[in-house]
Structure 1
Amino acid sequence: MSHPHPELGTPPALPKNGARIVALGGLGEVGRNMTVLEYDGKLLVVDCGVLFPEDHPGVDLILPDFEYIRDRLDDIVAIVLTHGHEDHIGAVPYLLRLKPDIPLIGSTLTLALIEAKLKEHRITPYTMAVREGDREEFGPFNCEFVAVNHSIPDALAVFVRTPAGSILITGDFKMDQLPLDGRITDLRSFARFGEEGVDLFLTDSTNAEVPGFTTPERDIVPAIERVFDKAERRIVVACFSSHVHRVQQVLDAARNHGRKVAFVGRSMVRNMGIASDLGYLNIPRGLVVDAKKLNDLPDDKVVLICTGSQGEPMAALSRMANGDHQIDIGPGDTVLMASSLIPGNENAVYRVINGLMRRGANVVHKGNALVHVSGHASAGELLYCYNIVRPKNVMPIHGEWRHLVANGDLAIQTGVPERNVLIAEDGVVVDLIDGQASIVGVVPCGYVYVDGSTVGATDETMLKDRRILRDEGFVTIIVVRDSSTGKVVAGPDIRTRGFAEDTEVFDKVVPKIENALEEARLKGVNDTHQLQQVIRRAVGGYVGGKLRRRPMIIPIVIDA
């Protein structure tokens, strides 16, 4: 396999007969998917999603780094969206802020979801709806769209033909042979592409470590029915606001058990309204009611479908678990978490489960019942694809490092030469020239944080400060000195936050501060910033040695 190395430099100019592939997100992480293809000076963007923060205090979303394309926005011929999940479309508004007229290409449902999101950002996009079998040209890129099965309707793979070679990008997919909507992954087209020749295969890696085949969606119906059979009071179902198939299964079960359904959460209400209007969601007349009318119904006739299956702090389910929601969860209520854990969200999800159970709810989740199946192809399905497509080169995408490596191993097992399997990270540049893909360099590609109303202003230094404040507390030391003599005339006055110890424990550091300041004065140190550093070193050494803590230390020197 070809591995990226820290010593990789700036890539050379792209030869006229070559195509370039740069992932700006989605490699080494689950989310933030974005891949940029280049040929003859033109760019094609495939997906533009967000990553949800894990240990990033105050951060709402993490975006791909647009710096690589910021000065080339006029060269972008289109943004192709494979499906409507947030990790594939969520960053589109932030890219269109830079250039609102970049064409968006996707299926009917995908475009409806992104248009609703863009409306909130006051952006009216230029869109082109495509469906499986369509073939369109965007600059030098000839794109053919292929139906794939996923956990959201209307997902597409895209086969990109260029004079430099052909590139097949699966997006997120699996091979459910009995899908709820009857729309299977089009392996016949995959085989046709294989016969034509696939020079580079970019394929979903999320479930590459999972042996066998992904469980069909239909197999979870009995588990959902059992939940409804046993539920004594209200049923609260938490899932992604774009998981139309799962919501349909819950609606069917509610109808079978004589319960009314209410959608809770802005994104859930919006997305299910879109899916229903477009015919992707079948809602029997009278089944869905406004959440405000729930108090008029008996508890055993109510189902709520809400967001928060990943433990998001501000989502409806998390607020219910904390007792901070108009819906008061209590004994006899059943909560069905109908989703899998996105890597990195485990602690947040378990915290919500514990909170719900502490309030007396019965919580049913993937760990104790078959109430969710993945939307991604497992190892057996990926092997089938490799054998059907027979690609010359493979670049695993969409997954953490372990997923990418596992996917690459599968490709090698099916006969792809090891040197032709490229395990790349975000920002690594891959060139396709004369049928051979190779790593040629790296471009800057970091995290871009959405923090409230600001985008990109928050950096790692600021996040480090927030983590220290959260985990270690802070110490403020105020010293007043005579501006003419430099001698301390008041203080040091020490204030702390986030410490279990009494403030008296810091009495022993006061002489150390005084001695350090006097020593600095005698050496002629008069600069306020330098004196603050003297105080910081004195306090930091004491706190680190005595209390085994590394708090944020804020020294303040006032001249009088």
Structure 2
Amino acid sequence: MSQSHPELSPPRALAPGALRIVPLGGLGEVGRNMAVLEIDGKLLLIDCGVLFPEENQPGVDLILPDFSHIADRLGDVVALVLTHGHEDHIGAVPFLLRLRPDIPLVGSTLTLALVEAKLKEHRLTPYTLAVREGQVERLGPFECEFVAVNHSIPDALAVAVRTAAGTVLHTGDFKMDQLPLDGRITDLRAFARLGEAGVDLFMVDSTNAEVPGFTTSEREIRPALERVFATAQRRIIVASFASHVHRVQQVLDAAAAHGRKVALVGRSMVRNMGVAADLGYLDVPRGVLVDLRDVEDLPDERVVLMCTGSQGEPMAALSRMANRDHRIQVGTGDTVVLASSLIPGNENAVYRVINGLIRLGAEVVHSGNARVHVSGHASAGELLYVYNILRPRNVMPVHGEVRHLHANADLAVSTGVPRERVVIAEDGVVVDLRDGRAQIAGAVPCGYVYVDGSSVGSITDADLKDRRILGDEGFVSVFVVVDAATGKVVVGPEVHARGVAEEDAVFETIKPRIADALAQAASDGARDTHQLQQVVRRVVGRWAGTTLRRRPMIIPVVLEA
């Protein structure tokens, strides 16, 4: 799948003094966030994340931004600015650094620590520059000022990029929790100061633009967690994102209050929480955290397991528990808490996990029946506040599906931003900021890059279509040997089927038709084996469609004797 935008032509050469913005991910989808800013021949990258596959992408592990637009210009990249440490913003960094390992990474202390731990597994040692709110750094022709924003992970930053063409403010992911667990609020005073100076283009998080009002505070989750810990009879298993430091902190505190021990389950959970604790972002109560191996020696009523898999990821710990494919066996009396909301597209996978856990006898607490998660993104009320504070000259909604982008655009217009100054773009659509106006200037190719095991970019949409056909319809192979001189069938046809759910005897009726069709083709002068294979494919395809009401993958093999 890709954004082709046939109605848009490739952009013209960038005018001197103009700023070009090219989103390579995150617009029209929730994930693989990445933007390229260009001026005076230099590039600044903002975020480099992954998108997780859906059910119609079998075998795919991750989906990356399409780097082809910048592949031959990596030497012009002055830095990669990372707004925060979630996978949809940092997960593709190792794949970018494989192309140029010395791209400077700029971000907050926690964000860079999470990236460095990830890169260590890829045997990459990056060049990093740690920044904090209020800090200003000159990166080539870009002057970047970093602003504290509140999100569902500590140390998130917005970035104001000043250039000769104007100032761009990119929020990253943010909300306006007034009572955050770590006391670090979105710096609206800095937003107001930037607005007074003039924001020429506001690139703003759209995820919750359709949600009225204000996003609930993280502190509102505490009562639901307290009820779980007060009433649970056996083990408590909590699933969340591996980078959700705030949620892990709440679980640790609740466990300490109720005399339970916590074990972290899942490599990414152990790695990320280790980093957060070492840097002081996670306050671990004394004696609460134990190794998973020590849990077996504890009574069930004193055990809490903090694991990954809240989005139904097949290989994550919770999914494997639901499938009885994990060392931890979930059973009657266990309480499982899915402490996250559903990412669009993951609903079926999550409900499968919930059903599996309930079937095993567990009680499952999730966002559908209790307040065990709040969003990390600003709702419509918060976005209106920010628009009124900033009064931006141009707006470009980012981070969201198409419906989110349009809802965010409507909010901007309602606060007085002229409709013609609100740019709704998708991945690959080029936006130029020139003379104070942001306008679409064309489009560049921007497809999905699939990671499949050790393969990166080798799998195509056609390959995925073949996999879906194999999974849904099965396949039929036909083996035939023909006389090289006459074209007459001398061996076969032999028909073998898998996943078609029919007895082998059914295929006896098609064999004479294949032989007749090959004989007719031979009499018409066809001798090339490729032509004969196409004859076989057409005959079997028509027969399967009318007789079996199926469209299996057909693999004909015709050999000459």
* Bucket of the pairwise TM-score, normalised by the shorter protein: over 0.9
1:438 Cα deviation after fit:
0.2
Matched letter for residue 390 of structure 1: R
Q: 1:481 to 1:5 in 2, by over 3 A?
A: closer
TM-score by length of 1: 0.99
Q: In the alignment, residue 30 of structure 2 is paired with which amino acid?
A: V
Residues in 2 aligned to 1:71 and 1:143: alpha-carbon distance in whole angstroms: 25
Letter in 1 for 2:10: T
Whichever residue aligns with residue 359 of structure 2, its letter is: R
Q: Deviations over 1:54-103 (max 9, x none)?
A: 12111110000000000111100000000000000000110011111110
The equivalent residue for 2:165 is 164
Q: 2: distance between equivalents of 1:355 and 1:405?
A: 37
Cα offset, 1:539, TM superposition: 0.5
Corresponding residue of 1:175: 176
Q: Determine helix, strand or coil for the equivalent of 1:383.
A: helix
**Alpha-carbon offset, residue 50 of structure 1:** 0.3
* Equivalent residues of 2:500, 2:552 under 8 A apart: no
Alignment of 1:273-352 (within 5 A): 273-352=274-353
Structure 2 residue aligned with 1:203: 204
Contact 2:233 2:333 in 1 (8 A): yes
Q: Is the 8 A contact 1:317 1:352 kept in 2?
A: yes
Q: Give the alignment of 1:316-465 within 5 angstroms.
A: 316-465=317-466
Distance of 2:425 and 2:26 partners within structure 1: 10
Q: Given that residues 61 and 450 in structure 1 are in contact (C-alpha distance below 8 angstroms), is that contact kept between their aligned partners in structure 2?
A: yes
Give a deviation string over 1:318-339, Cα, whole Å, max 9, x none.
Answer: 0000001000000000000000
Name the amino acid aligned to 1:106: G
Q: Provide, for residues 327-377 of structure 1, a one-character-per-residue CA deviation record: whole Å limited to 9, x for no partner.
A: 000000000000011100000000000010000000000000000000000
Amino acid aligned to 2:334: D
Q: Give the distance between the partners of 1:391 and 1:5, measured in 2 at CA.
A: 27
Contact 1:4 1:423 in 2 (8 A): no
Report if the CA contact (8 A) 1:383-1:414 is conserved: yes
**Equivalent residue, structure 2, for 1:20:** 20
Offset of residue 5 of structure 1: 5.3
Hey, what does 2:31 align to over in structure 1? 31
Contact 1:4–1:428 (CA under 8 A) maintained in structure 2 = no
1:145-294 to structure 2, matched below 5 A, reads 145-294=146-295
Q: Offset at 1:116?
A: 0.4
Retained in 1: the 8 A contact 2:30–2:401?
Answer: yes
Unaligned runs of 5+ in 1: none
Contact 1:4/1:425 (<8 A) preserved: no
SS in 1 for 2:22: strand
Amino acid at match of 1:507: E
Instruction: Tell me the secondary structure at the aligned position of residue 31 of structure 1.
Output: coil
- TM-score when scaled to structure 2? 0.99
Check whether the contact 1:104–1:125 (CA below 8 A) recurs between aligned residues: yes
Contact 2:484 2:527 in 1 (8 A): no
State the alpha-carbon separation in 1 of the partners of residues 507 and 187 from structure 2.
69
- 1:71 is paired with a residue whose SS is helix
User: C-alpha offsets along residues 125-164 of structure 1, whole Å, 9 cap, x if unaligned?
Assistant: 0000000000000001000000000000000000000010
Cα distance in 2 between the residues matched to 1:398 and 1:6: 23
Q: Distance in 1 between matches of 2:285 and 2:179?
A: 23
Residue 53 of structure 1 aligns with which residue? 53
Corresponding residue SS for 1:72: helix
- Give distance in 2, aligned partners of 1:128 and 1:406: 36
* Structure 1 residue aligned with 2:488: 487
After superposing the two structures, state which structure 1 stretch, 143-152 or 280-289, moved more.
Answer: 280-289
- Give the equivalent residue in structure 2 for 1:110: 111
Q: Which one-letter code corresponds to 1:148 in the other structure?
A: V
Structure 2 match to 1:66: 67
Return the offset for 1:4: 10
Distance 2:89 2:449 in 1: 16
Q: How many residues align?
A: 558
- C-alpha deviations, 1:148-189, integer Å up to 9, x for none? 000000000000000100000000000000000000000111
- Match for 1:474: what amino acid? F
The 2-side partners of 1:27 and 1:4 are apart by 13
Q: Secondary structure at the match of 2:447?
A: coil
Change (3 A) 1:388 1:83: same
CA distance in 2, matches of 1:523, 1:87: 58
**Distance between the aligned counterparts of 1:264 and 1:7, measured in 2?**
48
Moved more, 327-336 or 505-514: 505-514
Letter in 1 for 2:413: I
Contact 1:4 1:424 in 2 (8 A): no
How far apart are 1:547 and its partner, in Å? 1.7
Distance across 2 between alignment mates of 1:26 and 1:142:
24
Residue 100 of structure 1 corresponds to which residue in structure 2?
A: 101
8 Å CA contact 1:175, 1:185 repeated in 2: yes
Partner SS state of residue 37, structure 2: strand
Inter-partner Cα distance in structure 1 for 2:135 and 2:243: 24
Q: CA deviation at 1:503?
A: 2.0
Deviations 1:225-284 (A, max 9, x none): 001111110000000000000000000000011000000010000100000000000001
Q: How far off its partner does 1:511 sit?
A: 2.0
Provide the aligned C-alpha RMSD in A: 1.0
* SS of 2:510 mapped into structure 1: helix
CA–CA distance in structure 1, aligned partners of residues 537 and 476 of structure 2: 10
What SS does the aligned partner of 1:236 have?
A: strand
Which amino acid is 1:17 matched to?
Answer: G
**Per the alignment, in what secondary structure is the counterpart of residue 330 of structure 2?**
coil
Distance in 1, matches of 2:548 and 2:417, equals: 56
Q: Per the alignment, in what secondary structure is the counterpart of residue 202 of structure 1?
A: strand
SS in 2 for 1:471: helix
Cα distance in 1 between the residues matched to 2:419 and 2:380: 18
Q: Partners of 1:388 and 1:431 in 2: how far apart?
A: 24
What's the secondary structure of 1:521's corresponding residue? helix
**Partner Cα distance (2:456, 2:242) in 1:** 24
Instruction: Give aligned-pair identity as a percent.
Output: 73
Contact 2:19 2:432 in 1 (8 A): yes
